[in-house]
Structure formats: C-alpha cells, structure tokens
Chain A
Amino acid sequence: MKPIIEMSGVSCRYGSVLAVNELNLQVPEASVYAFLGSNGAGKTTTIKTLLNIIEPSAGSIQVLDVPSTKIGPRELAQIGYVSENQKLPESLTVKDLIAYSRAIYPTWDDAFCRALLDMLDLPLDRKIGQFSRGMKIKAALLVSLAYHPRLLVFDEPFSGLDPVVRDEFITALQEILKQKNCTVFISSHDIDEVERLATWVGFIQKGKLCLSESLETVRTRFRRIQVNFPKGTLSPNFSLSEKDILSEISEDSARWVDTAYVDAETVASQIVARFPRDTVHTTSPLSLREIFITTTHLTHKAQGVAR
C-alpha cells in the first residue's frame, strides 16, 4: 500500500540551527502514527513542513500523493489539523465556527457534526475566546473531523490539558477512529497517552529520526531480560558487556534491554552460552516509554562514539 505521507531526506534549518536533519519517514494509510520526541526535537517543524506552512531546506515530502510545497485548498479539504498553538477565530462562537467550516468544506457532514458535538460536550453559543485550553482543543477537533478527513494531523494535542480532559479526548478519538478509516499523524511528548492510540511509532531526537516502525514490531523487538543467579554465586567483580543496554546488577540478578529479541528459544540459548547452567532467566515486554528511553540512550551513545 502506498504511504499517505512520505518524507525523503527532509532537512529544515532556522539560521544556524538545524531543526530537522535528513528525515526519512513513511506513514502507512489507515495507521495511527505516533511521532514522539522530547521538547525541541523537531516534531512541530516536521508537521509544519508536511502541511506546507514552512518550506523544507532540503528533501521532499509527498502528502496524499502531492508534493508538500504544492499543497493547496484541494488537499487541505482532506486534512484535519489540531495543534496546541493553533489560533482559532476567537471572536466566533462554536455555532459560527461550524457555519464557517460547513461553507468551506465540500464534504462537511452535519449529522456527524451533531454527533461530535454531543460527544465533545461543547456549548454552541459561547465565544471560542472564552474557552479553556481543553475546550479550544475540542472545538478544533470538532471542525477538523466533521468533514471526514483522510489524514488527521495532531501537534501536541494533550499539552496543557488536565487528566480528565485528556482521557475524554483520547476516548473520543478512539471512538471516532473505530467508525472512520482515517490516518492519524500525532506528535507528542506524552508517550503514555499516545500509546493507547498508536499503531506505528517514530522517535525523533535533535532533528534526527532514530526509529520508525509498527508498534507491534517495536514491542516484540524490545525486551527486558533478567537473569537470576543462585544465591551467593555472583562474584562482586561481575559485570555485563557494553552491548547490554541499560544494564543493572543487583545482589543476585542482572538486567538489561535486548533490542533485537526474536523468540524465547534464541534468548535461552544465548543465556546458556553466556552464564552458568543453573541461572534462571525471564523476559518481559517494555512499555513505549521504556522503549523511548532505551532508544534515546542508544542515540546518545552513538553520538558519543561518533564524537
């Protein structure tokens, strides 16, 4: 299947600062792609380039089979965009905003809009300028969904939202995604929240993409391995190899992260080869947060070696 977003060698420079560095990324159609990175990693810049808000300094982007620099009203009518910083027309009420959006989107669905209004619990006659941050995000979501976009782009949608609103937002989004077959590209540094939605994941660090895979593959590949030694047999001088990522040694056990886990048998044979026969080992999956920390650690290590 052809990806809905395809970036090749995209770089973005602000003066002497390289915000995005040779990004190669593909977002499959009908996926929920979580684009994760710490603050200032280059997530927002990447999103702005793919929506033609800023031009990349190098490389090319295809969005909905159109080069990003050629994106116009026709493509934008199929894209929904919700951002923490987006400036909605604050002097309009929700009702006015709906009337305005209905006129500019040919595929606007009134019935779906009413359903969304109920789900998001937004007051029709209040001005958007009087809304809290959470309600503004909900209003943006309403006018970005009611025309059935093929692609939804979220830039830090959870930022500044209280936990209750976050939960409502995610539940509403999950509900909508169940009904509609659209692609979601969501950037965030709130990894735990995004994990509930994502099917694909990309990590960006200092403008460089460190990982881009399906969540299923990533979850399979990253495993924590713990080896328990018989009581009192572990020598005080025992150490793990440098290849063992994020290793920890306690009284009678050693732990590390395996980033190339295949299956239990392979790990068992590796353990047997490395440690005495009477050790017991366990493997456990990592959360997305732990996978992100591991990848960040690996990136820093690689950069250290490169330096």
Chain B
Amino acid sequence: MNVILAQLRKDVLTQRFLLLAWALCSAFNFIIPFFHINPVGSASLVGQAVLGIGLLGGIYAAAGVQFLLLAILAARIIQEDPLVGTEVFWRTRPVSRARLLAEKLLLIATLYIVTIFTCGPLSLQSHDYAFPFFSLIFILSFVAFASVTVGFVELILTFLGVGIVAEFFSILMYFLRNFRLSKIVHETQLQNGTVHSYNYNLSSDAASVPSAGVDWVSLVLIACLVAIIVHQYLTTRTKRSLLFLFLALLLTSLLKQFLPVN
C-alpha cells in the first residue's frame, strides 16, 4: 500500500499544473448548468440567437477541453514511469509492476469518472450514454499507446500509424471479400441463364453492410485494450504489445464490417 500511495503522491505532484487546469475545467462544467443562463437579455432576436449559439459553443468547447486534458493527463501519468527502455528509474527500485499498474489505473479511473459526470453537455447528467462509453475506449486506447511509447509526440505518431495501417488492412479485406462475393453472385446468375444488370458499385454494397453490433464490438475492443495494458505492465515486452494493439484494432475493425446485425 505504501508503494501505491508513494506513486500516487509522486504522480499528483508531477502533474499538478495539468491537474489544476483539469480541476478548474471540471468545476466550471459542473457549475454552469446550475446558472440557467439564457440569451433573453439581448435586445433583438438576432442578438439572442447569436448569444445562444455562442453560449452553447462555449459550453461544448469547455467540455471538449476537459476531455482533452483528461486524455493528456492519462498519457502523462503513464509515461511518467515509462515501460519502454532499460534505464527507467522504477525498474531498479522495489516497485512491483502490478502495484504500479494498480496505481496508474486507479488515478486515471478517478479522473475519468469525475470527467464523465461533470463534462457539461457530454456528461452522464445529459443521459446520453454514448459519450462515456466511447470516451472510455478512447482513454483506454490512449493509455495502451502511452504504455508502449516514450513521449507525447511518439504516442500520437504511433497511435495514428497503427490505426491507419489496421484500418487499411481492414478496408483491403473488405474489398477482397466484396469482390469475391459479387463474383460468386454474378457467376451463379450466368449459370441460371438470368443475366440481369448487376450493381457492382462497392459503395452501395458498403451501405448495405451491417453496421450494428457496434456496442458488442466495442466491448471486445475494451477487453483487448485492458488485456494489452496488463500485458505491457507485467512483461514490458513492447514489440509484442504493439503487435497486439495492431491486431486488436484490426480485429474490431473487421468485426464491425463482417458481423451480422444481431
């Protein structure tokens, strides 16, 4: 417990300025709904509309900033004690990997829960559960990528790189599948002697591909991300974790495309 508390204290200390900014943002987003601000004070209707749009924009922007700060904080908390490299301070100190992981997840989970309850129009208070769910995926992805990289720039580049390559493979497989399917359908029609004009337009095919099952697939992605984070913390085998990340993104991308609706 001492180690977890010491780590927690150290992380809070090193991220104090970012944490302060995030806390101010959270407080602002939490308080603002209680003020019932409306644009009635303006003299003209146009003025009221502009003020209304401005207020709404401001509230969404503040929520966005809070969420962005959470993502940056999550990455920095992980990278404060990097898992990549052999000259890392904690690796030669009596800090167990499991305790380090527990501390990091505890701190990030606390920040996440506060964020989703206070994040203005995107929060749980607005009874829209899509945001907390997808923001969890985003934060977990960020944490997973932060655990296999050193520094924020490397994190962003790896995030984009792995994401783009996985998506590319997924699209490639999708096209190959559709090409094969349309060929089979076309040949069957020829054998039956019913030659109809067949729509080979892949984009219209794409529209008919089931897009449901997203929640189920997202749960798979969340499970994969958690497993990768645990794997990286317990083994520090970065290359393997990176490969798993790529495979997880590819798998979920493929599942989204190929799974039936229900």
Contact = CB atoms under 8 A, between A and B. Distances in A.
B96 interface: yes
A51 B94 CA distance: 12
Interface in A43-85: 48, 51, 53-54, 72-74, 76-77, 79, 81, 83, 85
Nearest to A143: B93
A89 B86 contact: no
Interface in B1-51: 2-3, 5-6, 9-10, 13-14
B93 A104 contact: yes
Interface in A232-246: none
Nearest to A81: B92
Of B10, B14, B80, chain A has the most CB atoms within 10 Å of the CB of: B10
Contact of A74 (B87, B92, B93, B94): B94
A224 to B, nearest CB: 40
B14 A91 contact: yes
A92 B96 contact: no
A88 interface: yes
A53 B92 CA distance: 8
A103 interface: yes
A89 B80 contact: yes
A96 interface: yes
Interface string B159-198: 0000000000000000000000000000000000000000
Interface in B60-101: 80, 82, 85-89, 91-96
A91 B2 CA distance: 21
A54 B86 contact: yes
Interface string A104-127: 110000000000000000000000
A86 interface: yes
A104 B86 contact: no
A87 B87 contact: yes
A86 B92 contact: yes
A142 to B, nearest CB: 13
Nearest to B5: A103
Contact of B92 (A76, A92, A99): A76
Given A86-B87, A89-B89, A96 B94 contact: no
Contact of B10 (A76, A83, A88, A96): A96
Interface of A: 48, 51, 53-54, 72-74, 76-77, 79, 81, 83, 85-89, 91-92, 96, 99-101, 103-105
28 contacts: A53-B92, A54-B86, A73-B95, A73-B96, A74-B94, A76-B92, A76-B93, A76-B95, A79-B92, A81-B92, A85-B87, A86-B92, A87-B82, A87-B87, A87-B88, A89-B10, A89-B14, A91-B80, A92-B10, A96-B10, A99-B9, A100-B9, A101-B93, A103-B2, A103-B3, A103-B5, A103-B6, A103-B9
